[in-house]
Amino acid sequence: MAESVPVRCPTCRRENAFTPPTFPCACGAPLTLPVLRGGVPVEILHRTWQASWVEVRCEVCGRQDEWPAPESGCACGTVVRVPVAPAPPLPPPNFPSSGRPAPRPAPPPAAEPPRAVLRPAFRPVTIRTARDCVTAAEQYLKWLGYADAARTRERTASGVDLRGTGVVAQVDPTTHATKLREIECVWLNGLNDSAIAVFFSLAGYARDARARADELHIPLFVMDLTGTPQPVNDPADELIKYGAAAR
């Protein structure tokens, strides 16, 4: 677990213990946000999308990505954004005394790629109501290999409809194209659960939502009234081919 750091509330001056969040990097290593010790927290009065993200570099693979900016709440009701140490510059290449670049170390052996899964044909669930959409998506996730995928008891504010071991999914049964915000919300839920995030939509996706899903490697499916989800991007094709092993 990450070590907690003290964060002083700018309103009541109370000092609160804050544990930096940890996210899974694309390389598989845990990435803990490097909270800046002694940094001055900033009270959040108006939220903006740009200020809600920070760039952090993974110490294991060197990959630099955007992650949700850490926030801390005080008992007085103040919510602050905790400053994060800026990503250090990449180290310069190592030149030995000969003046030539040092040879690169041999790459580690590549992991064996997952094997394609053979499964029987999917049995669709006819869609007549919004509830049928969720049921169809639940059956489809089980068909993909997430045997314990089940409907959440009560749809959360983030919109997660289905959860299972290693997977979270959101279902949009409306007649409007799914928007960008919903794609990013289900992605954040996947990060929090260390699970793959999947989206099912009845009316398709807005252009920016589709592009963002491709960047985040989120499988997207479109459902027709027969209840048969159809893949609309490469991550969805991979999920169908490899099932739960596609992570």
Mean pLDDT of 153-178: 84
* Alpha-helical runs (H) found in 64-158: 130-144
Task: Give the model's pLDDT for residue 98.
Answer: 52
Secondary structure element (H or E) that encloses residue 65, with its range: strand 64-68
Q: What letter would DSSP give residue 27?
A: T
- Judged against a pLDDT cut of 90, whether residue 70 lies above it is answered with no
- Report the sign of the C-alpha dihedral through residues 176, 182, 184, 190, in that order: negative
Task: Give the model's pLDDT for residue 136.
Answer: 94
> Diameter of the chain by CA atoms?
73
Average pLDDT, the chain: 84
Query: Letter for the amino acid at 162?
Result: L
pLDDT in tens, 18-42: 888 888 887 778 888 888 877 788 8
- Judged against a pLDDT cut of 60, whether residue 111 lies above it is answered with no
Report percent pLDDT > 70 for the chain: 84
CATH architecture of 130-245: 3-Layer(aba) Sandwich (3.40)
Domain ranges in the chain are 5-81, 130-245
Model confidence at 239, in pLDDT bands (50, 70, 90)? Answer: very high
3-state class (DSSP) for residue 81: strand
